[in-house]
A and B are shown apart, each in its own frame.
Chain A
Amino acid sequence: MRVVHGAIGVLGELLVTLGVVLLLFVGWQLWWTDVVSDADAAQVVATIEQQLDEPGSDFIQPGKAKLGDAYAIVRIPRFGARYARPLYQGTTRDVLQRGIGHYVGTAMPGEIGNFAMAGHRTTYGKPFNGVAELHDGDVVLVETKDSYFVYRVTGHQIVPPTQVSVLLPVPDQPGAEPTAATLTMTSCHPEYSARERFIVHATLDATYPRAGGVPPEVLEVKS
């Protein structure tokens, strides 16, 4: 009898321990990954800004970026005046845990063709948490060594994870020759799921030299 009691006691303690570990995992995934990634992203953005402001800066040109290099800052006024995330070359898991990733092989910022990027909608700093709140005409600002590229949102769609045609030079039109510089953002949908993808499309509206800054009206959010 005492042995059985002891075994049940140990089993109970193991189950309670397992429950606590599972709760810790949820806390880690939903909270701690944001803490770590936000701090990392803020530091990377600050470093990039500092390097860009140096006279005669040799900060990396977008076309020279290798996998995992941060080469631009993405600002989305709709997500808040202080919203700034590093843009990395590549969309590997490691890259996306640190910020926004640029799909290798798609156009570079400002180029004719489709500049495509991916970001987490939940967890790991959730840079694309607000994608569903983006309105048509909202600004996505990409700051590189020499330029500010102002893209404006033109629409969104929800697609299966396998629909790679959203990344084509002219999204969803295989074989078409691009004549415009477009931007495509991919994130997961619904939130906390990976069943589908939330896709935002935008078009290049203006380009400004970095030295002169952007006109303040670009950063205004229309309600």
Chain B
Amino acid sequence: MYALLWRVLPGPKLAKVLALVVLAAVVVAVLFTWVFPAIAPLMPFNDNTVGQG
């Protein structure tokens, strides 16, 4: 999977490494901005109010 990604990335080794760093940063940004905030309310440790339910 990652070997394939390495092979399809163009350019010399340095360019591939840079491209991977940018890709990883994009993935982390998407997770932090949209995915994790959407999952967090489903976690059992974020409630602090009293209420019925």
Contacts from A to B (Cβ < 8 Å): 9-10, 13-14, 21, 24-25, 28-29, 32-33, 91, 93, 96, 101, 103, 118-124, 128, 159, 161-164, 166-167, 186-188, 192-194, 197, 199
Contact = CB atoms under 8 A, between A and B. Distances in A.
Prevailing SS type, chain B contact patch: loop
B31 A128 contact: no
Main SS of the interface on chain A?
Answer: mixed
A182 to B, nearest CB: 15
B46 to A, nearest CB: 7
Interface of B: 1-2, 28, 31-32, 36, 39-41, 43-53
Contact of A161 (B28, B40, B45, B50): B50
Contacts of B50: 118, 159, 161-164, 166-167, 186, 197, 199
A194 B46 contact: yes
Contacts of A123: 45-46
Given A24-B32, A187-B48, A197-B50, 4 more contacts: A25-B39, A118-B48, A118-B49, A161-B51
